[in-house]
A = this chain, B = another copy of it.
């Protein structure tokens, strides 16, 4: 059997980030082109429609930052919704919390889940066999529309950059519906793009969430394989966000299991807004 190494690049405004390696699978699903490559440094990496989504080596930068701030003060018997997240990484971080009683993972593209389970199974890890995880192959926008009021304690929006497929996940009407289906002190946690390589979208998400929710806070950290490497996550709620008022023993337990996240890191990341974004939001 021969292993042929090739370069696969994501192109972005005149720059490209490429990984070299053997292509393990390349197929077109109903929605998008899916590629998994085996790279020397990043391990197996997933690309959807020309954009790097995740890799075994760097996925924790993304998933730990999306999940742990939102679950800092989670109550017993919480109900969680993940929109997107077909690689399983967000679910894997969620199942660390025994307070969660149910996780609905709503992924539009069944092939992403199948391929992730087959080629990137470490990313979903224990989540795939956790009885609390229910997988629904469905459109996240429709799922939210048909959910009753005050149903979820936390909603994670774990989606790709705005595109024909995901545009509605960044719309006013979608955020309004999310607010409707959240419990009174529920939290919406969303990746909010890069303040550098998707600056306009980033600012638009921040402004929109501030408009719809009483409280909204943004953290900045790193995702090596995303354009510019700078990424952000925003947490919004109708109540004060107790993002670091977690039970101290629980924080220590979660820290032990994390590669990137710890409570100090999180508290700092909420203050890492680049000065040019501060200026633009204040102007």
- Please give the residue numbers on chain A whose beta carbons come within 8 Å of chain B beta carbons, in ascending order: 7, 9, 12-21, 39-42, 58, 61, 196-197, 221-224, 228-230, 255, 258-262, 264-265, 267-276, 278
Contact = CB atoms under 8 A, between A and B. Distances in A.
B21 A41 contact: no
Given A16-B17, A222-B222, A264-B273, 5 more contacts: A9-B16, A12-B41, A13-B40, A221-B272, A259-B275
A265 B273 contact: yes
A17 B229 CA distance: 11
Contact of A15 (B41, B267, B272): B41
A19 B16 CA distance: 7
Given A14-B20, A229-B224, A276 B259 contact: yes
B271 A275 contact: no
Contact of A20 (B15, B20, B272): B15
Contacts of A272: 221, 265, 268-269, 272
Contacts of A230: 222, 224, 229
Nearest to A15: B19
Q: Which 7 A/B pairs are nearest by Cβ-Cβ distance?
A: A229-B229, A14-B40, A268-B271, A268-B268, A13-B41, A224-B228, A222-B230
A11 B228 CA distance: 16
A17 B255 CA distance: 32
A67 to B, nearest CB: 14
A36 to B, nearest CB: 15
Nearest to A61: B274
Contacts of A19: 14-15
B260 A265 contact: no
